[in-house]
Amino acid sequence: MSASSTQLLNVARRAGERASEICRAVLSGTPMSLEKGDKSPVTLADYGCQAVILREIAAAFPEHHIVAEEGSLHLKESAGEEGAQHIVELVSENLGEKVSFDQVCGWIDHQGNEGAEFTWSIDPIDGTKGFLRREQYAVAIGILKNGVPYAGVLVCPNLPVDLNQPDGPRGVLYVAAKGEGTTRVPLDGGKEISVTTNATDLNACRVLGSVESAHGDPNLVVAMMEHAGMKGGFVRYDSQVKYGILADGNAEVYVRPRSRPDYRENIWDHVAGVIVAEEAGGKVTDIDGKPLDFTLGNKLVENRGVLATASVEIHEAAVAGIRTAEAAVEA
């Protein structure tokens, strides 16, 4: 029998809460950054989070497929004896039981069955650069049902519970499932509320983008804002917290133009965020207005960047603004 959204979300939430404990434990000291082949940073927290998340999923749904960002090979090659011992301690402490390095690596590499009805798309720490700067990052647990975003939990351990009060408590969890809306829960306990977004006023549009200029094309974003008449400001955050902020109604547009023509987005950078934004009433496509196609493997090979907005009206204006901005560059 197919898993219900409640069963899926219970597991995703438990996994996300465990992962956020790992993140906070690592940030209570000095996180060590290990460089990957593509020069992007990774930390023991990325591996620790992936281990505890995949362990939960594998125990509950052994037949489900999992696509996750990290693999144990790089950990084995780069962590050294000290790193291996450190991650074993981190995961053992988190689970409250003694585990081995081989067990940790086994969980990190668990993939389940390709072709299963459900595919979990996991970014154990999205925005590792933001994590290392002690700014914004997210634990992204997205679930595809037959290749379509179906449910997700987006954990934002360092996001202010009230964005207008940055000195107040931090840590927010977004939970969404198809047809059931999006709820937001303070990570450390508190009232669960459902969030919606339906703004249509272009003039007031606040636009979100990446902190890392190399992850997009900030000049194009600014040109789009000018052409579309969006005057609410361009605010930059790391990671999928951008989808959460949009779902909350604290911004109206998240645009992610391609950083270069051959770049293709990873599915784990979007599945959880997309369902959170869509179920709050938002619309998500690529920057041409084309639906995102998650059925083609680990990457969105047939899409150009990503565009998430608060409403159909704003979406159309953003797509038109991008088209005009690109035409002006080419002219």
Binding region for ligand AMP (CB under 6 A): 40, 126-127, 210, 212, 214-215, 238-239, 259, 263, 266, 269
Position closest to ligand AMP via CB = 210
Stretch that binds Mg ion, among 115-123, 141-149, 278-286, 302-310 (CB under 5 A): 115-123
Closest to ligand AMP by CB, 48 vs 145, is: 48
**Nearest residue relative to Mg ion (C-beta):** 126
Closest distance of CB 266 from ligand AMP, Å = 5
Residue 124: CB minimum distance to Mg ion, A: 9
- The residue (of 126 and 286) whose beta carbon lies closer to Mg ion is 126
Q: Cα(121)–Cα(48) distance, rounded to whole angstroms? A: 17
Instruction: Report which secondary-structure segment, H or E, holds 56.
Output: helix 44-60
Choice from 46, 123, 217, 238 touching Mg ion (CB under 5 A): 123
Give the tokens for residue 90.
Answer: 């981190």
Provide, rounded to whole angstroms, the least separation between the CB of residue 229 and ligand AMP.
25
Question: Shortest distance, CB of residue 123 to ligand AMP, whole angstroms?
Answer: 6
Q: Residue 285: CB partners within 8 Å, gap ≥ 6?
A: 291, 292, 306, 307, 315, 319
Binds 238: which of ligand AMP, Mg ion, none (CB < 5-8 Å by kind): ligand AMP
CA 136 – CA 120 distance, rounded (Å): 23
Q: Is there a contact between 159 and 170 (Cβ–Cβ < 8 Å)? A: yes
- Which partner in Mg ion, ligand AMP, none is near 286 (CB below 5 to 8 A by kind)? none
Q: How far is CA 268 from CA 83, 152, 315, 324, in A?
A: 25, 11, 23, 30
Q: List 236's β-bridge partners, or say none.
A: 209
Question: Catalytic one among 43, 119, 126, 128?
Answer: 128
Catalytic residue among 46, 238, 269, 286: 46
Query: If contact means CB under 5 to 8 A according to the sort of partner, which of Mg ion, ligand AMP, none does residue 212 touch?
Result: ligand AMP
Check: CB of residue 150 under 8 Å from CB of residue 144.
yes
Residue 29 has, within 13 A of its CA and on its CB side, a CA count of: 11
Our answer to whether residue 46 is catalytic in this structure is yes
> 101 in helix, strand or coil?
helix
Q: Which of these, 265, 266, 215, 209, lies nearest to 237 by C-alpha position?
A: 209
Q: How far is the CB of 260 from ligand AMP (least distance, A)?
A: 7
278 sits near Mg ion (criterion: CB under 5 A): no
121 binds, among ligand AMP, Mg ion, none (CB under 5 to 8 A by kind): none
Closest CB to ligand AMP among residues 99, 154: 154
- CA-wise closest residue to 57 among 14, 100, 104: 14
Helix, coil or strand: residue 15: helix
Q: Which helix (H) or strand (E) holds 154?
A: strand 148-160
Cβ proximity to ligand AMP: between 133 and 290 the closer is 133
Token match 């090659």: residue? 77
| Residue 224, H or E segment | helix 218-228
First to last CA, the chain: 56
Q: Which CB, 50 or 239, lies closer to ligand AMP? A: 239
Residue 269 binds to Mg ion (criterion: CB under 5 A): yes
| Residue (178 or 299) nearer to ligand AMP, CB | 299
DSSP letter at 299 equals B
Q: Which is nearer to ligand AMP, 42 or 177 (CB)?
A: 42
Q: Is 128 a catalytic residue?
A: yes
Stretch that binds Mg ion, among 48-56, 106-114, 119-127, 174-182 (CB under 5 A): 119-127
Q: Which residues are catalytic?
A: 46, 128
Give me the residues that bind Mg ion (CB under 5 A), please: 123, 126, 269
